[in-house]
Structure 1
Amino acid sequence: MSMKKKTAIITGAGGGIGRAAALQLAKDDFNLVIVDFNEQIALETLELVKENGAEAIFVKANVTNASDVENYVQKAVDTFGSIDVFFNNAGVVQKFSMFTDIEEAEYDRVMNINTKGVFLGMKYVLKVMEEQGHGHIINTASTAGIRSEHSAAVYSASKHAVVGLTKGAALEYVSKGIRVNAICPGGVRTPLTDSVTKEMQTTGYVPAEVGVMRMGRFSEPDEIANVLSFLASDASSYMTGTTVVVDGGLTL
């Protein structure tokens, strides 16, 4: 009898780290639930993972909306019967500016997507995982969740909060067969980070300290996806409540 395939949900699966993660978990023989707000790029990811032999569905969602989150969680269960891995990855970057120049609307946007979106995903997936008696949640934090970045105080706060949510849930659910960890990438070459460079060129605002890439380059999305692959497997079975830093030495 063949082993039942494991199922993974990936938010922000349309591009960057999310797409690389989807392709990697397809290779790792997971069923996939592709979640993104941008339907066009998410459907491209869906096609790519199907070409790699994965069974997969796409669910459009605004991660800051509780009913959208409940919907993608329910669709995952209805389609595949379980949620074994949840890659809680959707996020945005902050427009660089000094603390007192940060608009309230920008604060709300960044905290809503990066922190509330992660919280809601965890809240509804944890309910399913507790019922199953197993599961692993992997949140995308950032090196900015460990130490602040110049001119990105709100982004840093949102990612520190992701680390806090990770540890809190890991502590509460460790006895229930559920693990919760976070990945902290440094600079990753994605459309999101490309937009940051463009923004600096457009606005002319460059933070007083720009992160020094110790390896002389950003990481490729698949270098983050490789770490996710390890975390999503039983090879990481004794890890919970930890932050895995994948930053090419940025925080040294």
Structure 2
Amino acid sequence: MVTRWILICLALLVPFTAQAQEERLVRLAAPEALHQSGLLKHILPRFSLKTQVRVSTVAPGDPADMVLGDTGRALFEGAGQVWHMTVLSQGHAPTQRFADWLTSEVGRNTVTSFAPDGTPLFTQPQPRAATVAAVTLDGDSELGQRQAQLKCGRCHAVRPEDRFNSIGSTPSFMVLRGFPDWAERFSVFYVLNPHPAFTQIADVSDPFPIDRPSPIAPVEMTLAEVEALLAYVQRLAPADLGAPIQSQ
């Protein structure tokens, strides 16, 4: 009778045990190249031994909690590419624990210590030099020069020969051309103070409030003329501002 009761209790516990194991399972999708490297066989048992969380690998495209591949957070580099992690099961505690382990010092060291032939096969992802696209300004620079003289010349020196014909506190176009962000400054000059108070860009700027009209004759331009202005400024030689001041 006692034996029968024990068997019944064990039978009742089986579903709960299976459910508990399922809840502590992480399904990891990884391509064949990563399997072939042997890395997963190296790191997964070590993670499971430490945390009692089991990781089961599935094929790419199958239901998964986490994916190792080309997108997501960069983890390590080797086997011909940088491997990234994407967590699909947000809020799933075992998956989050695996993700935290992979990005921890212990996890990173476990990956980089994989050296089946004495030489580590994986490293931390190396920083890549940023590719800076060349800015091409194809506006009409001749139109830009005319607009600069007509619309901007009352405050700024817009040509080297005009450097003495400007408001003293207003930087010349040549000085502005020497700033690293000169293109951005000229692209949006109409929203930089004090320009909004007297500048109107067609189809961009809001009309002046009736109770606050422009204090001077408005500067009115189109976006095409702004592009032309940029093309003109690009032609200018930056002013030589000398070496930075050195403090003692």
Using the size of structure 1 for normalisation, the TM-score is 0.25
| Larger relative contact order (Cα-Cα within 8 Å, sequence gap ≥ 6) | 1
Structure (1 or 2) with the larger CA radius of gyration: 2
TM, length-normalised to structure 2: 0.25
